[in-house]
Amino acid sequence: MDIAADEISLFLDLDGTLIDIAPRPDAVHVPDDLVTLLGRLQQRLGGAVAVISGRPLTDLSRLLPRCPVPLVAEHGAIFKLPPGYQFKLGARYCVPEAMAAFVRGALGALDGVIIEEKQSCLTVHFRLAPEQKPVVKAALERAIDRWPTFRISEAKMALELRPRGLDKGTAVRRLMRFSPFQGRKPIFIGDDVTDEDGIRACLLLGGRGMRVPQDFGGGPSSVREWLWRIASQSAPQTAQCPP
Active site residues: 13
Q: Which helix (H) or strand (E) holds 135?
A: helix 133-146
* Cα 100 to Cα 83: distance, rounded to the nearest angstrom: 34
Cβ neighbours of 229 (radius 10 Å): 13
125: which strand partners? Answer: 114, 158
Which of 55, 75, 42 minimizes the C-alpha distance to 163? Answer: 75
Residues 6+ apart with CB under 8 A from 99: 122, 143, 146, 147, 150, 161
Q: Which helix (H) or strand (E) holds 8?
A: strand 8-12
Instruction: Spell out where 171-226 has E strands.
Output: 185-190, 208-211
Phi-psi region of 21 (alpha: psi -120 to 50; beta: other; left: phi over 0): beta
DSSP 27-57: G----TTHHHHHHHHHHHTTT-EEEE-SS-H
CA triplet 210, 68, 28: central angle to 5 degrees?
A: 60
